[in-house]
Amino acid sequence: MKTLRYLLLEKLYEWSKIPYRWLFKDEAPWDLSLKELLSFPSDSLGYHLGCFLLRNHFTPEPQLEDHDVFHVLTQTGISVPEEIAMQFYLPGNGKRSAYLFTVLCIGTLLFPDEVPRFINSYQKGRKAHRFYNLNFLKLLPIPLQQLQQTFKITFA
């Protein structure tokens, strides 16, 4: 059973998606279906993104595709604490935004028991080469492992 803090954060995310797109996202949606992602070579970022979406019963979210790519590149799960940890990875990697810092503050307040995980994730982001701001649509055919090695994305 999910606790109130899990439900609260999930609901806040659902409510914030549309304003977030409107205020912060100016790039066009990728317009790629799950089937198209799964048609990329089996070692590619695109294929692994399709598998991630399929495995988690997700569909591509227009203008929010990068978020799912971050999950794939960093091998981060989808539980609420894992989501927050991934958000800590991003400022470690150089990303800055008011929305991101709001998520970090709320996540820390609701999950103080997860702070060591969040710090670890932030440190991993600092060690990786900057990738948060790339055009991932163009990188979909590239082998996932090659991208992880190039950007020094570690998991341990």
pLDDT at 2: 67
Task: Report residues of the chain scoring pLDDT below 70.
Answer: 1-2, 21, 23-24, 156
Tell me how long the chain is: 156
pLDDT at 145: 98
Please name the helix (run of DSSP H) or strand (run of DSSP E) that holds residue 7, with its range, or none.
helix 4-24
Cα 99 from Cα 20, distance rounded (Å): 8
- What phi and psi values does residue 143 have, to the nearest 5 degrees? -60, 135
Take residue 22 and report the two structure tokens written for it.
């409107």
pLDDT at 19: 72
Cα 105 from Cα 22, distance rounded (Å): 22
Take residue 8 and report the two structure tokens written for it.
């609260």
pLDDT at 155: 81
pLDDT at 11: 81
